[in-house]
Amino acid sequence: MIKISDKLCNELIGELKKDNKGLHSWLETIHPIDLAETITDLNDDELLQFYKRVDTELMAEVLEQAEDDFQARFLRLLDIKDIISIFNYMATDDITDIIGNLTFAESKKILNMMKEEDSGAIRKLLGYDEESAGGLMTTEFIALKESLTTIEALTKIKRISPTTEVIRSIFVLDDSKKLVGVADLRDILVAKEETLLRDIANTNVISVTPDIDQEEVALLVAKYDLTAIPVISRKGIMLGIITVDDIIDVIEEENTEDILKLGGVSEEERIDSSLMISIRRRLPWLLINLVTAFLAAYTVGLFEDVIAQVVALAAAMPIVAGMGGNAGTQTLSITIRSIALGELELKESWKIVFKEILLGLIHGAATGVVTGVILYFVYGNPYLGLIILLAMICNLIIAGLSGFLIPLGLKIVGIDPALASAIILTTATDVFGFFIFLGLAKVFLNFLIV
């Protein structure tokens, strides 16, 4: 929980006052990713000074790793020529991410100044949805013809490797540039010199098309332990690769999204977000919650006459509603997680429905008996205990069913289950919980007033 960059930032400002030799030997001791965090805290003058003192290659590496806001701020300090010389050291996916955060006018100006081949690739990448395989991929990879021998391949690999991120997987193409296999660099290293790439390539390749959602790509990479997954067109032409470090970011991003949405924060908010951002992210959701709270209050209001006669009901009713919410949330968490991990099988659903009904029955009976007995001792009326037992069994069955069927239904109709499930679920368990408990109390009112 310590921020390393505060300390580093002071050191860096000190080093900038020294000569090049001092600065560069200090820079060698700092990881580029830490450096990226550090320079974020520099002011514009210090930043320009830093830029002028370091190699363009290091600057590119650091800029790649920096936050979006900083990237835009920094580029606005530079001439287009400087920007393009930095971009020469960056992978196309990183350039695309940076350009994607600039204004349309800014990005157009930069793209027009770039070499035709580079700007073409980037324009193409800019066209993909940011959260799709196309939006994640880079066009820097090693792809070789299947008819090459391993010694020829190795020569090419040596030439290409400095500009590519992944070297373990060499993608093997046929004459029409279709991806036909993947060769492991280890196999190329140990194979006889005249062996053809096609003969050592594994033809059983896991790949995606550019339109595939990033969540699905992440599931594939996780399942098949890949360090890079190729992206191919519908016709099988190799377009790019997605590397595992970007996949880790996707996984963390999707998990953050799920946890926040389950907690009722509709869009990404960080612990250090500004007050205004926090209000915008949370207040709309609270207002929706308020509507459902009124639904529950309305349900209680229907039975005000009953409560007026047996005030104990007012104290006991939150137990029924609350326990329903708790039990439903348990089922919901497991269901949401199964969906996220791609584990849920539709045709097995009826088994889960059956299990959740049974669980509701058992958990409702267990907690209901405890509650009923305690209420009997407190109020001396056995019927109150029986009514709450019955209500809790019913509400926990509803809770279990809702916890499974709501996210499943949302998933099927294409709504993110993490977003809306929790609120629908607690509305159901609150409204139904109050209704069944107070309704039973109304029916058996004569036994309660004795």
User: With binding defined as CB under 8 A, does residue 332 bind a copy of itself?
Assistant: yes
Restricting to residues 199-218, name those near a copy of itself by CB under 8 A. Answer: 203-204, 206
Q: Where does residue 93 rank: exposed (0-12), middle (13-18), buried (19+ CB within 10 A)? A: buried
Amino acid at 409: G
User: With binding defined as CB under 8 A, does residue 289 bind a copy of itself?
Assistant: yes
User: With binding defined as CB under 8 A, does residue 161 bind a copy of itself?
Assistant: yes
Restricting to residues 257-286, name those near a copy of itself by CB under 8 A. Answer: 258-260, 262-265, 269-272, 275, 278-279, 282-283, 285-286
Compare residues 4 and 443 and give the one whose CB is closer to a copy of itself: 4
CB of 154 to a copy of itself, least distance (A): 8
- Per CB under 8 A, the list member of 176, 235, 343, 380 interacting with a copy of itself is 343
CB of 349 to a copy of itself, least distance (A): 10
Compare residues 80 and 251 and give the one whose CB is closer to a copy of itself: 251
CB of 224 to a copy of itself, least distance (A): 5
For every residue of 336-404, which 3-state class applies, written as one string? HHHHHCCCCCHHHHHHHHHHHHHHHHHHHHHHHHHHHHHHHHHHCCHHHHHHHHHHHHHHHHHHHHHHH
User: With binding defined as CB under 8 A, does residue 193 bind a copy of itself?
Assistant: no
CB of 362 to a copy of itself, least distance (A): 6
Q: Which stretch binds a copy of itself (CB under 8 A): 28-36, 71-79, 105-113, 208-216?
A: 28-36
Q: Where does residue 412 rank: exposed (0-12), middle (13-18), buried (19+ CB within 10 A)? A: exposed
Amino acid at 320: V
User: With binding defined as CB under 8 A, does residue 415 bind a copy of itself?
Assistant: no
Cα separation, 91 vs 103, in Å, equals 21
Restricting to residues 353-412, name those near a copy of itself by CB under 8 A. Answer: 355, 358-359, 362-363, 366-367, 370-371, 374, 378
CB of 137 to a copy of itself, least distance (A): 16
Restricting to residues 45-104, name those near a copy of itself by CB under 8 A. Answer: none
